[in-house]
Amino acid sequence: MTLVSETIEHAAPAPAAAVRSRVSVPLRFADGFTADAEVLTFSGLTDGKEHLLLALGDWEQALLEAARGGSGPLVRLHSECLTGDVFGSQRCDCGPQLREAVERIAAAGGFLLYLRQEGRGIGLYSKLDAYALQDGGLDTYEANLALGHGEDERDYTAAAQMLGALGAGTVRLLSNNPDKAAQLGALGVDVSAQIATGVHASPANLRYLTAKRDHTSHTLQLPSDAGPGRDEPRSSILAGSAARPAAAVPVVVPTHDEMLARAQGLIAGLRERAAETEQLRRVPDSTMAELRSAEIFHMLSPKAAGGFGMGLETYVEVVRRLARGCASTAWSVGHLVEHVWMLARWPREAQDEVFANGPAPLAAATGAPAGVAEKVQGGYSISGRWTFASGVMHSEWALLAAQRGGVRLQCLVPLADVEVLDVWHTAGLRGTGSNDILARGLFVPEHRALDWERLAAEANPGSELHQDPLIHTPMGALLNMVAPAAALGSAEYAVELFRELLMVRKVKHTVETRQADSPLAQVRYAQAYGLVAAARLHWQEAVRVVSASHARRPSTMTDRERADYRLSLALSGEASAEAVRLVMTGSGGSVHRLSHPLQRIQRDVNVLLNHAALTRDPVLEQAGRGLLGLGFTVPTF
369 inside domain: yes
Query: Is residue 180 one of the residues assigned to a domain?
Result: yes
Residues 588 and 129: their CA atoms lie apart, in Å, by 72
> Quick check: is 154 catalytic?
yes
Where among 400, 424, 456 does a domain terminate?
Answer: 456
Residue-level pLDDT at 39: 97
Catalytic residue status for 468:
no
SS (H, E, C) 443-473: EEEHHHEEEHHHHHCCCCHHHHCCCCHHHHC
Same domain? 418 vs 534: no
Residues 329 and 365 in one domain: no
Kindly state whether residues 60 and 174 are assigned to the same domain.
yes
Mean pLDDT per 10-residue section of the chain, whose length is 637 residues: 39 80 93 90 95 95 88 94 93 92 91 96 94 89 90 94 95 91 92 84 80 80 44 39 38 89 93 94 93 94 93 97 98 98 96 92 93 96 96 96 96 96 96 97 97 94 93 89 97 95 75 80 95 97 93 86 94 97 92 92 96 90 92 74
Same-domain pairing of 70 and 182: yes
Please pick, among 152, 155, 352, 436, the residue that the annotation labels catalytic: 152
Q: How far is Cα 420 from Cα 251, in angstroms, rounded to an integer?
A: 35
Q: What is the Cα–Cα distance from 386 to 371, expressed in whole angstroms?
A: 7
Write out the H or E segment, with its range, that includes residue 548. Answer: helix 519-550
Q: Which residues contact 22 (CB under 8 A, 6 or more apart)?
A: 38, 39, 40, 41, 55
Torsion (CA) 384, 378, 394, 479 in degrees, nearest 10: 70
Are 288 and 343 in a shared domain? yes
Instruction: Give domain status of residue 231, yes or no.
Output: no
The pLDDT value recorded for residue 368 is 84
Domain membership of residue 287 (yes or no) is yes
What b/e readout covers 565-599, taking b as 16+ CB neighbours within 10 angstroms?
bbbbbbbbbbbbbbbbbbbbebbeeebeeeebbbb
Domain boundary among 407, 423, 456: 456
Say what the pLDDT of residue 508 is: 64
The closest of 586, 432, 574, 437 to 505, measured between CA atoms, is 586
Give residue 509's pLDDT. Answer: 64
Going through 166-255 in order, the beta strands assigned E by DSSP cover 170-174, 190-195, 224-225, 235-236
Give the containing element (helix H, strand E) for 623: helix 616-627
Residue 464: CB partners within 8 Å, gap ≥ 6? none
Computed on alpha carbons and rounded to an integer, the radius of gyration of the chain in Å comes to: 27
Q: How far is CA 623 from CA 144, 156, 329, 562, 565, in A?
A: 69, 65, 30, 8, 9
How far is the C-alpha of 43 from the C-alpha of 478, rounded, in Å?
58
311 with 443, same domain? no
Q: What is the pLDDT of residue 595?
A: 86
Q: What does the angle CA 7 – CA 8 – CA 14 come to, to the nearest 5 degrees?
A: 150
Does 132 reside within a domain?
A: no
Q: Is 582 helix (H, G, I), strand (E, B) or coil?
A: helix
Same domain for 393 and 285: no
Domain that holds residue 439: 358-456
Pair 179, 47 in one domain: yes
Neighbour count for residue 96 (Cβ, 10 Å): 21
Instruction: Say if residue 489 is in the same domain as residue 599.
Output: yes
- The CATH number of whichever domain residue 377 belongs to comes to 2.40.110.10
Q: Please indicate, yes or no, whether residues 70 and 210 belong to a single structural domain of this protein.
A: yes
* Confidence (pLDDT) at 628: 93
How far is the C-alpha of 83 from the C-alpha of 151, rounded, in Å? 19
Q: Are residues 89 and 213 in the same domain?
A: yes
Query: In whole angstroms, what is the distance from residue 357 CA to residue 201 CA?
Result: 6
Catalytic residue among 154, 281, 562, 566: 154
Distance, CA of 400 to CA of 411 (rounded, Å): 5
Helix axes 519-550, 482-504, angle to 10 degrees: 160
What separation, in Å, do the N-terminal and C-terminal C-alpha atoms of the chain show? 61
- Domain boundary residue, one of 305, 328, 349: 349
- CATH code, domain carrying 500: 1.20.140.10
Tell me how many domains the chain contains. Answer: 4
Residue 146 lies in a domain: no
Spatial neighbors of 220 by CB under 8 A, at least 6 apart, are 176, 196, 199, 209, 212, 213, 245, 247, 248
Q: At 272, which CATH number?
A: 1.10.540.10
What pTM does this model have? 0.65
**CATH code assigned at 33:** 3.40.50.10990
Q: Is 110 part of any domain?
A: yes
The answer on 563 and 420 residing in a single domain is no
Look at residue 251 and tell me if it is in a domain.
no
To which H or E segment does residue 366 belong? strand 363-376
Pairing of β 419-421 and β 436-445: antiparallel
